[in-house]
């Protein structure tokens, strides 16, 4: 009989912070690299998990893109920054937007396969982190003479770059899929056209996300899952600030305000800054354990991983990926959509989410159970961290509400989807 895999009590995430304040000033988490964010999430999780950290034998963390000089070290950097010993190995997982969910699957499979499972240290930390402070990259410079304003292994003075050398924004470059021949936002516009989603429907969905997120924050529902982050104080600040809440939620959102926003990606399109996911920095972590190890070490389980599903689809409608992935996850869990009490669907773009929710109904999933606490439109989508963040949120929501089954699902750039089913412990 296959052993159950549990997420332990203590799973935590960081507040999600916009990469820019008012699209001008550096975001509140802009001073932190992805490895630092992941380290903070691991540290916070271990502090809240009633388990000896010496029992952790592996770390698996998702990360979609390199954003800082230390990003190449990925999960290894997050491991030591999180306070785990030097003899604990770490693996970085990259399935683009699904990396944070894939890390949970990989961690579970490491334990279930048993080939590398450490019986003396049987628990695994899983999660994801992403600093969306992606740099500008220098192209067409390799092999050229290094001038006075350019250091081969250091800073570059753009004013002294020779003709033909280009600086390109890694954030914008990453959001364009050459396989689909379009940017991620345009794939959502295409999906909206195929499903007949109107601008009013997209705006209403965006409004719902902000209103639900604000209500959840004000009710204190996010407090149980968030580890506050101490920010570096400025010269005029007597004490460092403490970031406790997600920063993108619009306090006074309304349809009137939503309707005034211009299409952001296509002439006559329906996606705007108000109904697309926010670009934020974030991270989350959790400790996973086999049922026998949870029992042997008297650990407190939060949720059982009941099922997984990964699927692929036409990259021109990449946002539809959660539908076939969810079908697989429900089958894996041995339940129907009607059994799902809480859904965390990543809102990459409103028309994409609406299309998925319509098809979820065909699987028996109640639309009212989808994102009752808001999601990425109001809270943000830090690529490689999102899957683990939504898993933490879903597990805590099941505990708070008494629901039995929860679904975590998201689309993946390039035409994939990933889903996992949780059962409250």
Predicted confidence at residue 146, as pLDDT, reads: 55
Q: Tokens 């001008």 correspond to what residue?
A: 24
- pLDDT at residue 142 is higher than 80: no
Q: Tokens 């996850």 correspond to what residue?
A: 329
* Beta pairing partners, 342: 406
Spell out the alpha helix ranges (H) of 58-198: 74-81, 99-113, 170-174, 184-195
Residues 66/389, Cβ–Cβ less than 8 Å: no
Could you tell me which residue, 9 or 164, shows the higher pLDDT?
9
Contacts of 113 (CB under 8 A, 6+ apart): none
What's the gap between Cα 374 and its chain centre?
A: 14
Predicted confidence at residue 1, as pLDDT, reads: 47
Segment 243-262 shows an average pLDDT of 96
| Residues above pLDDT 70, as percent of the chain | 95
Q: Tokens 């579970």 correspond to what residue?
A: 108
Predicted confidence at residue 152, as pLDDT, reads: 54
* Beta pairing partners, 421: 307, 407
- Phi/psi at 241 (5° precision): -80, 160
pLDDT in tens, 358-371: 999 999 999 999 99
3-class SS of residue 269: coil
pLDDT in tens, 52-99: 999 999 999 999 999 988 899 999 999 999 999 999 999 999 999 999
Segment 252-280 shows an average pLDDT of 95
Predicted confidence at residue 355, as pLDDT, reads: 98
| Assigned architecture for domain 5-134+278-424 | 3-Layer(aba) Sandwich (3.40)
Sign of the Cα pseudo-torsion (393, 308, 387, 116, in order):
positive
Q: Where are the beta strands (DSSP E) in 234-300?
A: 242-243, 280-290
Predicted confidence at residue 139, as pLDDT, reads: 78
Sign of the Cα pseudo-torsion (64, 18, 16, 219, in order):
negative
Instruction: Determine the Cα angle at 381 with ends 173 and 40, to 5°.
Output: 105
Residues annotated catalytic, as ranges: 97, 411
Segment 274-286 shows an average pLDDT of 97
Sign of the Cα pseudo-torsion (133, 276, 340, 95, in order):
negative
Predicted confidence at residue 153, as pLDDT, reads: 57
The helix (run of H) or strand (run of E) holding residue 92 is: strand 90-93
Predicted confidence at residue 140, as pLDDT, reads: 78
**How far is residue 192's CA from residue 186's CA, in Å, rounded to a whole number?**
10
Q: How confident is the model at residue 116 (pLDDT cuts 50, 70, 90)?
A: confident
pLDDT in tens, 221-251: 999 999 999 997 654 455 678 999 999 999 9
Exposed (0-12), middle (13-18) or buried (19+): which is 142, by Cβ within 10 Å?
exposed
Joined tokens for residue 190: 């295409």
Q: Tokens 């004000």 correspond to what residue?
A: 218
> What is the average pLDDT score of the chain?
93
Residues 10/287, Cβ–Cβ less than 8 Å: yes
Minimum mean pLDDT range among 158-172, 180-194, 364-378? 158-172
Predicted confidence at residue 69, as pLDDT, reads: 85
**How far is residue 191's CA from residue 197's CA, in Å, rounded to a whole number?**
8
Residues 124/299, Cβ–Cβ less than 8 Å: no
Segment 127-134 shows an average pLDDT of 96
* Beta pairing partners, 283: 129
**How far is residue 306's CA from residue 6's CA, in Å, rounded to a whole number?**
9
Joined tokens for residue 49: 């998990």
The terminus-to-terminus CA distance of the chain in angstroms comes to: 19
What's the gap between Cα 251 and its chain centre?
A: 23
pLDDT in tens, 12-34: 999 999 999 988 899 999 999 99
| Pairing verdict, β 123-130 and 56-62 | parallel
């Amino acid at each position: 009989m296959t052993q159950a895999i549990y997420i332990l009590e203590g799973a935590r995430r960081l507040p999600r912070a916009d990469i820019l304040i008012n699209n001008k000033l550096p975001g509140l988490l802009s001073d932190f690299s992805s490895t630092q964010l992941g380290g903070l999430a691991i540290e916070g999780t271990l502090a809240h998990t009633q388990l000896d950290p010496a029992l952790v034998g592996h770390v698996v963390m998702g990360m979609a893109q390199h954003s800082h000089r230390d990003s190449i070290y990925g999960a290894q950097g997050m491991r030591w920054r999180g306070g785990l010993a030097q003899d604990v190995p770490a693996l970085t997982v990259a399935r683009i937007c699904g990396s944070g969910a894939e890390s949970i699957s990989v961690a579970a499979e490491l334990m279930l396969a048993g080939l590398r499972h450490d019986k003396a240290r049987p628990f695994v930390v899983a999660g994801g982190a992403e600093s969306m402070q992606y740099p500008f990259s220098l192209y067409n410079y390799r092999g050229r003479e290094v001038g006075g304003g350019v250091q081969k292994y250091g800073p570059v003075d753009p004013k002294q770059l020779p003709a033909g050398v280009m600086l390109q924004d890694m954030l914008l470059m990453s959001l364009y899929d050459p396989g689909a021949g379009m940017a991620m936002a345009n794939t959502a516009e295409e999906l909206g056209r195929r499903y007949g989603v109107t601008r009013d429907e997209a705006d209403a969905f965006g409004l719902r996300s902000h209103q639900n997120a604000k209500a959840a924050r004000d009710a204190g529902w996010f407090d149980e899952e968030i580890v506050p982050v101490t920010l570096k104080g400025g010269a005029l600040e007597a004490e460092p600030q403490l970031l406790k809440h997600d920063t993108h939620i619009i306090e006074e959102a309304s349809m009137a305000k939503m309707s005034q926003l211009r299409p952001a990606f296509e002439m006559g399109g329906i996606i705007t800054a108000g109904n697309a996911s926010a670009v934020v920095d974030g991270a989350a972590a959790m400790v996973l354990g086999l049922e026998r190890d949870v029992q042997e070490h008297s650990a407190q389980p939060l949720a059982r991983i009941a099922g997984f599903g990964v699927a692929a689809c036409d990259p021109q409608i990449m946002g539809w990926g959660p539908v076939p992935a969810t079908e697989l996850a429900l089958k894996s869990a041995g339940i129907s959509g009607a059994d799902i009490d809480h859904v965390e669907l990543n809102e990459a773009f409103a028309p994409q989410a609406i299309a998925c929710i319509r098809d979820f109904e065909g699987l028996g999933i109640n639309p009212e159970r989808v994102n009752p606490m808001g999601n990425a439109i109001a809270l943000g989508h830090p690529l490689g961290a999102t899957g683990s963040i939504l898993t933490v949120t879903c597990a805590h929501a099941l505990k708070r509400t008494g629901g039995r089954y929860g679904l975590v699902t998201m689309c993946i750039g390039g035409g994939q989807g990933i889903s996992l089913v949780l059962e409250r412990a």
